[in-house]
Chains A and B, each alone.
Chain A
Amino acid sequence: MSKQTAAAHDPAHDEHRPNVKLYIGVFAALLFFTGLTVAVSRLHLPRPQAIALGLTIAGIKAALVAAVFMHLWGEKKLIPKILIGVAIFAVTLVVIDVLDGIWLTPQDTSRMAVADQHPDESAAEPPAPAKPTAAAPEAK
């Protein structure tokens, strides 16, 4: 068997036999969902609903690309396992930071709150002026 023929019948690629009709169908679906995303954004829905809808449509589009174009549909199980691991890390990263952003209010980071939590460090700082004067720049 020549190298050329061997490559064409490589068992590692048999499960990814191209399906042109499916590719065209997915392409049409992606164009439709792109138009839908733009149209929905023109409806001026309340922001939480708009974000949820927009990201849902984006998720469907991404899933189509991953499943069909990247051949994840029918791929060996090792690849989805790797991706699930990555997804867990990514979601954890997002959730921790978002919760931190929600719970950490401006009051928590104020000078008073920091002084309460770290009295030793705040004692070393020079005392702030009681009232900003017109001549002095306002403290940020």
Chain B
Amino acid sequence: MNATAIENPDTHSGISNAKLGVWLFLASEIMLFATLFTTYIVLRLSATSWPWGWDALNVPLATLNTVILISSSVTIVMAYARAYDRDVRGFRLWMALTLALSFGFLIVKAFEYGHEFSKGIGPSTSVFYAVYFTMTGLHGIHIIGGIIVNSVLLYMSFVQEDWENPLFLGRVEGAGLYWHFVDIVWIFLFPALYLL
């Protein structure tokens, strides 16, 4: 890509191609999770009984993870705000906090899984647990994907050339959009699996 293309990205649609691409990717992700939620609804409707989340899962830990993920959504939007104002130190701080919270989420999730495995509970235990492990497992994979992207952005902020690249802010915005989407998925997973 030449320098002119970088400084003047194609905006025939009024939106940069990169941002449009992220939104189209998120659209495909919405369909992926919609399929899983549909499976959940059909299985639940056809089941003769369905356990309460409070009886079958660890709700306090899941609540803690909800707070962690919501907090990480705020920290990444603060990182975007710092990048917008060209404050590299502020960006690094908020992005590092986002990564710390992301790892925190995975640690809590690993603790929860470990507790269930130690009781002999796995995906094959019942339809409920099969749905639970599939949906939370796929969500966890998305968290790992977000950690990789956010780590790369944090690293790039230490490289002067990358930080000064006009595309950097768009990259942060794209990573933020993905991260907020992962947060929204959890916002629905939490009540659907743990509370209702």
Which A residues lie at the B interface, using CB under 8 A?
A: 3-4, 6-8, 10, 12-13, 16-18, 20, 23-24, 26-27, 30-31, 34, 37-38, 40-42, 47, 50-51, 54-55, 57-58, 61-62, 65-66, 69-71, 76, 78-79, 82-83, 85-87, 89-90, 93-94, 97-98, 100-102
Contacts and interface: CB of A to CB of B under 8 A. Distances in A.
Interface stretch (B14-22, B113-121, B143-151): B14-22
B187 A65 contact: yes
A34 B66 contact: yes
A41 B191 contact: yes
Nearest to B20: A78
A38 B59 contact: yes
B184 A66 contact: yes
Interface of B: 7, 9, 11, 13-16, 19-20, 23-24, 27, 30-31, 34-35, 37-38, 41-42, 45-46, 53-54, 59, 63, 66-67, 70-71, 73-74, 77-78, 80-81, 84-86, 164-166, 168-170, 173, 176-177, 180-181, 183-184, 187-188, 190-192, 195-196
Contact of A7 (B24, B30, B73, B86): B86
- Secondary structure of the A contact surface, majority rule: helix
A78 B14 contact: yes
A31 B188 CA distance: 15
A97 B41 CA distance: 9
B187 A12 contact: no
B195 A3 contact: no
A13 B83 CA distance: 12
15 contacts: A3-B165, A6-B166, A13-B170, A17-B84, A27-B70, A41-B191, A55-B191, A62-B184, A66-B184, A70-B181, A78-B15, A97-B42, A100-B42, A101-B41, A101-B45
Given A89-B31, A94-B38, A97-B41, A51 B84 contact: no
A71 B84 CA distance: 14
Contacts of A16: 84, 173
A8 B85 contact: yes
Nearest to A105: B46
- Secondary structure of the B contact surface, majority rule: helix
A57 to B, nearest CB: 7
A65 B59 CA distance: 22
Given A34-B63, A51-B196, A101-B46, A65 B180 contact: yes
- Give the 6 A-B CB pairs with smallest separation, nearest first: A18-B81, A90-B34, A41-B195, A54-B191, A7-B166, A76-B14
Given A4-B86, A18-B77, A78-B15, 18 more contacts: A4-B164, A12-B9, A16-B84, A18-B80, A20-B81, A30-B73, A41-B196, A50-B195, A54-B196, A55-B188, A69-B73, A69-B74, A78-B14, A78-B20, A97-B38, A97-B41, A98-B38, A100-B42
A20 B78 contact: yes
Contacts of B54: 41-42
Contacts of A13: 84, 169-170, 173
A30 to B, nearest CB: 5
